[in-house]
Chains A and B, each alone.
Chain A
Amino acid sequence: MSADVSSIELPFARRTLGNGLDVIVHEDRHVPIVAVNLWYRVGSKDERPGRTGFAHLFEHLMFEGSEHHDAGYFPPLQQAGALLNGSTSTDRTNYWEVVPTSAVDLALWMESDRMGYLLPALTRERFETQRGVVLNERRQSYENRPYGLAFMAIVDALFPPGHPYSWMTIGAADDIRAMQFEDVQAFFRTYYQPCNASLVLAGDIETARAFDLADRYFGDFPAGERPPAVTATASLDRGRALVQEDRVELPRLYLAWHSPAMFAPGDADLDLAADLLANGKTSRLYRTLVYERRIALDVSASQHSRLLSSFFLLAVTAAPGHGLAEIAAIVDEELRRVAADGPTDAEMERGAAHAEAHFMYRLQTVGGFGGKSDQLNLYNVFTGDPGFFGRDLERYRAATRASVRGAVAAHLTSKPRVALSVVPRGQVALALPGSEPVVVS
């Protein structure tokens, strides 16, 4: 029983099948469930301009049937008591099932059937239906949601045209409408290959049996070829100030900077900086903007860590009657202070306590988004080392006042940024002065 985890560890065993499929196993026998988690090294960064949104639409098609189970993927798995889902990001696509121990074979059979035999089941009709579903998803999650188009405007301004992060994973509506059924086959053959995937089994399963099952269901597939890795660099040569009118009541300021890639030096420091700046009541900007001056309704910040490069995003919603210039001035002052003096000892202590506890909380579930199986795959796919969990935590333990100060100075205060003001329609005066209007849809 691997339940005695007084130290913060995520133990595992790894084997790579002859065809290149990575298989990682983690035992946790505390609830009779097994998490099956499969990552493909493909995301929206692998798309081309004019064809954006394809990786995500394709993810939908993976649930519609495969050659030997030519029907929806939900009914048999749901009948077995499984929870299942998938998601697409800029950098990867993942699929997972959490099944009772008694249904591991079923989950692996189905997961392998769609890896090996998807295309014979793909029909034009299924493609058209999912195109419609995705257009609805886009309307619901972006177009019909307050501030829902801000992210689109930010990545568009932050990255040069053609850069793989310059479009959203959901894709442009026109691109989704223009997608061709014929493109599905080439996409599948390029990216959905064993050598381009990583499988984790976590939970109530013996390691040797897990490897046997993985080999049995996936081992016969030809390796395929690992597609060439996408590379791209991005930097801003000058700051941009933009204003977007939206169906919102209160203006919000977004500030975005390029920042170091996931796990690169500075990445964890900026994650800590985000917390001390804007997350929670003790954070500096919450304290000054929301608690003391009461000129803002909320603040947030995060280091959006990604494979090619990251960005740091800070957002503040103004309280009624306050414009964004007033807020920006205070934010800038606070950023300069961190860049000059660094965090306080108290801030570093809180950051360390937070990291310690939250790495522990991450060990509570085997499956689903963010569960142990998903983390093992993240580490394996993005660093090549499923055991990176401990080194990941070590990054936070090793951070110092100097390293956080240095990261803020190097990547935020001394660098150009995108400042996006989202304002209620007709109230452009609330935006930062000199902002250029921007329209995305």
Chain B
Amino acid sequence: MAVDRSALPAVGPDPAFAFPRIARHQLANGARVCTVEHHGVPVVTFIVQIDGGYGADPSGREGLAAITADMADEGTGDLSAIDVSDALERIGAEYEVEVGADATSFSLTTLTRFAARGADLAARMISRPSLRQADFDRVRQLRIDRLTQLKDMPGPTADRAFLRRLYGLHPYGHLSIGTEAALSSLALTDVEAFQTWRCRPSAATVVAVGRLSHEALLQAVAEAFGGWEDPAGCVAQEPAAADIEPPATRGGLAIVPREGAAQSELRIGHLSARRGTPDYSALTVMNAVLGGQFVSRLNLKLREEKAFTYGARSGFDWRRGLAPFALQTSVHTGSTAEAVEEALAELAGIRGPKPVTDAELALAKASLTRGYPRGFETTQQVARAVSQLVLYDLPDAYFAEFVPKINAVTASDVTRAAERYLDPAKMHTVIVGDPAQIEGPLRTLDIGEPELLPVEPRR
């Protein structure tokens, strides 16, 4: 039968998909446990998520949460750092640490036949790290050196300056790696205190996903983590970063100089919403239309129409507290001002002057919903998705409700969300680029006098 090429073939009805069932448990020590049976290859992933990420860094101790997490694989019991690494390799484990704004996650993936060994190793590393002085000195120096290297990287430099512009001295206002000054002043005692008071079973959730039964997964976790105890004494009750109101800021233009740069690294945005907002679905659709996917206003304009960039995107850097909305891209130096102008026009447009069209709405919703099951293929994907539910206090039905909720978003919901959560007058524009080439053209845009920022933010 010849192919009919007069029109694209129709897409059939969405295939049924059963989202993972989450079983919730609690250990006697207070640790919460979530287990999910996964039916792919014989692989298991454990994620240990601890409340408190880099937003829990005390003022002047920026980088403490991250360096503490980094110390987990530097030795435990009679195992040295090298021994820990050797033990991980012998079970073919993939071990990762992610220090987010509100939580720290340790993830270990291994073959199911090593599930008990993997869980045991994770528990020993996370609950009883050795915290030796020599290891701390080395790790701290490596992190200081890495910060030095970041100064040459336009992306992280832009992120760093941007966070600081948005949050000021709020606990969310720095990168997880911290600052050179803070890292230099950290002592091992800081890490010990942070480890003791933050990294405790009553603040932890263990997610276990693999080709094992709920019972077997729970047993592996219980045997490994059951002996972990909260520290004696009361836990200091400092307000979480999410509960601290960020200072009000005025938008404006700032440049981190990078002389002779071939491209300008761009961030445009402001603080916008919390992950728990009831407008989450509307904002997700709005962002998909604006810059959340390849076919979006920003990428089509800046890449496909103007060829200013290899790609442009926007998104929310979600957290429990007030989160940034930001556009990010890297554009040809000569096109910087024009790119900023076009981007700002798109950000303003979606609030009403250029409302989302029916076609855009249909595309965004279909893309978000039809592609959704794709995110549940691997144990890591599922474990991470479940740990997000825990982090943001979302219900177990969240996965099943995602698609109907996105499908219920209307064009006016999108416009209303954009009006409420995007404000062109408050936009911060941060550019890492060559001032000699970009300042002049940027002055013609009426977005304020460019302020020159240092690479390493001042206190």
Contacts and interface: CB of A to CB of B under 8 A. Distances in A.
Given A129-B307, A217-B3, A139 B262 contact: yes
A248 to B, nearest CB: 6
Contacts, number: 216
A68 B85 contact: no
A139 B332 contact: yes
Contacts of A141: 310
Interface in A259-296: 280-282, 287, 290-291, 294
B379 interface: yes
A250 B149 contact: yes
Interface centre among B92, B148, B151, B308 (most CB of A within 10 A): B92
Interface stretch (B98-106, B170-178, B362-370, B423-431): B362-370
Contacts of A363: 40-41
B14 A102 contact: yes
A361 B109 contact: yes
Contacts of A389: none
A75 B288 CA distance: 12
Interface in A168-192: none
A113 interface: yes
A385 interface: no
Interface stretch (A30-38, A225-233, A329-337, A407-415): A30-38
A365 B373 CA distance: 12
Interface centre among A69, A79, A110, A113 (most CB of B within 10 A): A79
Contacts of A317: 149
A248 B1 contact: no
Interface string A34-70: 0000000000000000000000000000000001110
A356 interface: yes
A129 B378 CA distance: 37
A109 interface: yes
B234 interface: no
How would you classify the secondary structure of chain B's contact residues: helix, strand, loop or mixed? mixed
A427 interface: no
Contact of B142 (A33, A69, A72, A290): A290
Interface stretch (B4-12, B54-62, B270-278): B4-12
A15 B308 CA distance: 44
B342 interface: no
A384 to B, nearest CB: 26
A364 B379 contact: yes
Contact of B367 (A78, A139, A354): A78
A32 B17 CA distance: 7
B94 interface: yes
Contacts of B40: 3, 30, 363-364
Nearest to A100: B370
Contacts of A130: 307
Given A75-B295, A354-B89, A83 B374 contact: yes
Interface string A346-362: 10011001101110110
Contacts of B41: 3, 5, 360-361, 363-364
B53 to A, nearest CB: 24
A76 interface: yes
B410 to A, nearest CB: 18
B263 A139 contact: yes
Nearest to A146: B152
Given A76-B8, A113-B5, A356-B92, A146 B153 contact: yes
B395 interface: no
A341 interface: no
Contacts of B84: 281
A250 B154 CA distance: 16
Interface in B99-146: 109-111, 138, 141-142, 145-146
Interface residues of A, number: 82
Contacts of B341: none
Contacts of A247: 152
A394 interface: no
Interface size, B (range)? 35 or more
Contacts of B81: 281, 291
Contacts of A109: 3, 5, 8-9
B11 A103 contact: yes
B371 A81 contact: yes
A78 B379 CA distance: 25
B42 A5 contact: yes
Nearest to B16: A32
B303 interface: yes
Contacts of A287: 82
B313 to A, nearest CB: 13
Interface in B157-196: none
B191 to A, nearest CB: 19
B89 to A, nearest CB: 4
Nearest to B370: A81
A308 interface: no
B145 A319 contact: yes
Contacts of A32: 15-17, 373
B263 A140 contact: yes
A76 B303 CA distance: 18
B307 A133 contact: yes
A30 B82 contact: no
A249 B262 contact: no
A364 B43 contact: yes
Contacts of B449: none
A205 B330 CA distance: 40
B154 A144 contact: yes
B2 interface: yes
Given A32-B15, A100-B15, A282 B310 contact: no
Given A31-B377, A350-B86, A365-B377, A216 B3 contact: yes
A93 interface: no
B253 interface: no
Contacts of A140: 263, 309-310, 330
A352 to B, nearest CB: 9
Interface string A301-333: 000000000000000010110000000000000
A366 B366 CA distance: 21
A132 B339 CA distance: 14
B367 A81 contact: yes
B138 A294 contact: yes
A74 interface: yes
Contact of B13 (A6, A102, A131): A102
Contacts of B295: 72, 74-75, 78
B82 A282 contact: yes
B415 interface: no
B151 A136 contact: no
A101 interface: yes
A78 B294 contact: yes
A282 B332 CA distance: 42
Interface in B317-334: 330-332
A82 B81 CA distance: 43
B363 A357 contact: no
Interface centre among B149, B154, B372 (most CB of A within 10 A): B149
Contact of A80 (B3, B11, B294): B11
25 contacts: A33-B377, A74-B294, A78-B367, A81-B369, A100-B14, A101-B15, A102-B370, A128-B307, A129-B305, A130-B307, A136-B330, A136-B331, A137-B310, A139-B330, A140-B310, A144-B154, A247-B152, A250-B148, A281-B82, A287-B82, A319-B145, A354-B92, A357-B91, A358-B92, A366-B377
Given A113-B5, A297-B145, 15 more contacts: A33-B374, A68-B5, A78-B293, A110-B8, A133-B310, A139-B262, A144-B261, A144-B262, A145-B153, A220-B2, A282-B86, A282-B89, A356-B92, A361-B43, A363-B41
